[in-house]
Amino acid sequence: MTFETDQSRTLLDVVGIYVDSFKGKETEPSVHRELTKFVQWCGPNRSFIEINPSEIGDYAEQVGGTGTTPLATERLQVIRGFLSYARKQGLVEVNLAQHVRIRKSKNRVTGATKTGPEAIGLTAEGHVKLVTQLESLKSERQPLAVQIQKAAADKDVRENAPLEAAREQLGLVEGRIREIEDTLKKAVVVDTSKRKKSKIVDIGAKVSVKDIDTGRQSNYTLVGRTESNPSEARISDVSPLGKALVGKTVGDEIDVVTPRGTIRYNVVRVS
């Protein structure tokens, strides 16, 4: 069965069509959970055909992190499968699945120093958020352990959904704890107090750039790779635009390679 592209069809509508295609088949709860996260990140009421390759790339970068993020590959495979289905069914003309790039897993480097290649730049705000999130996640351990203990008291474990749900949630919490702890070990908090004096783009800088061809001006905040949030115009220093901006100052011109081709920008303001 093939569907025609419909501009009024939202992302949530298309996800619904995809999920309905599973009827009669057993699907993992993690698939539904990941699709829900993706919908929330993009916006459920967005017209599906308006979602562009750049956004897909940003989402994959956020999920994939540094290449050591637990379950990142599995999560991105869910999104890739969904987008492949949408393309095959004619729900979108662009093959968005090819922009879900999955980083190859990296072996953890032992003894890495904070001045080495493994260092991760963070704004002070981003560092505080991670520390706060870590404390919150650690506080979830004991309640989840109690849930598992209570659910395990039911001797019929074959159909024990509460037990499986609690175990899965604890696994996700532990994975995120390890990820944050690894990030904090490698973190270098960037001092932005000298930002106004330097006027050079670095993590923490607010940058205004102008598309030289169209004249359109956009504003961004450059942040570390773990803090990026395209919906808030917070781009990471490892994204194509962020990487090109690092070290630049007002008046500089940069070329950024995107799925739509190379875009030339002029840096008009740095603060």
Write out the DSSP string of 171-228: HHHHHHHHHHHHHHHHEEE---TTHHHH----TT-EEEEEETTT--EEEEEEE-TTT-
Q: How large is the average pLDDT for residues 215-224?
A: 92
Average pLDDT of every residue of the chain:
80
Q: What average pLDDT score do residues 219-244 get?
A: 88
pLDDT of residue 65: 61
Assign domain 120-189 to a CATH class: mainly alpha
Quick one: pLDDT band at residue 111, thresholds 50, 70, 90? very low
Mean pLDDT over 73-100 rounds to 86
pTM here is 0.48
Rounded (5°) CA angle 169-172-176: 140
Ranges of CATH 1.10.287.180 domains, the chain = 120-189
| Separation between Cα atoms, residue 188 and residue 126, nearest integer Å | 11
Alpha carbons 251 and 204: distance in angstroms, whole number: 19
First-to-last C-alpha distance (Å) of the chain:
53
Structure token digits, residue 247: 């070290």
pLDDT band at 103 (very low <50, low <70, confident <90, very high): low
What's the pLDDT at 157? 53
CA angle at 209 for the pair 205 and 215, rounded to the nearest 5°: 165
pLDDT band at 264 (very low <50, low <70, confident <90, very high): very high
According to the model, what pLDDT value does residue 107 have?
Answer: 40
For residue 215, the model assigns a pLDDT of 92
Distance between CA 64 and CA 74 in Å, rounded? 10
Amino acid at position 127, single letter: H
- CA–CA distance, 77 with 32 (Å, rounded to integer): 13
> Does the pLDDT at position 26 exceed 70?
no
Phi, then psi, of 267 in degrees rounded to 5: -80, 115
Q: So what's the pLDDT on residue 162?
A: 78
Query: What CATH architecture is 195-270?
Result: Roll (3.10)
Is residue 116 scored above 60 in pLDDT?
no
Q: Picking from 32-46, 128-142, 183-197, which range would have the lowest pLDDT averaged per residue?
A: 183-197
Q: Is the pLDDT of residue 115 over 50?
A: no
pLDDT for the residue 186:
83
Tell me which CATH code domain 11-99 carries. 1.10.150
Range(s) for CATH 1.10.150 in the chain?
A: 11-99
Residues of the chain with CATH 3.10.50.30: 195-270
Three-state DSSP class for residue 42: helix
Residue 270 has pLDDT above 80, yes or no: yes
Tell me the average pLDDT across 91-95: 84
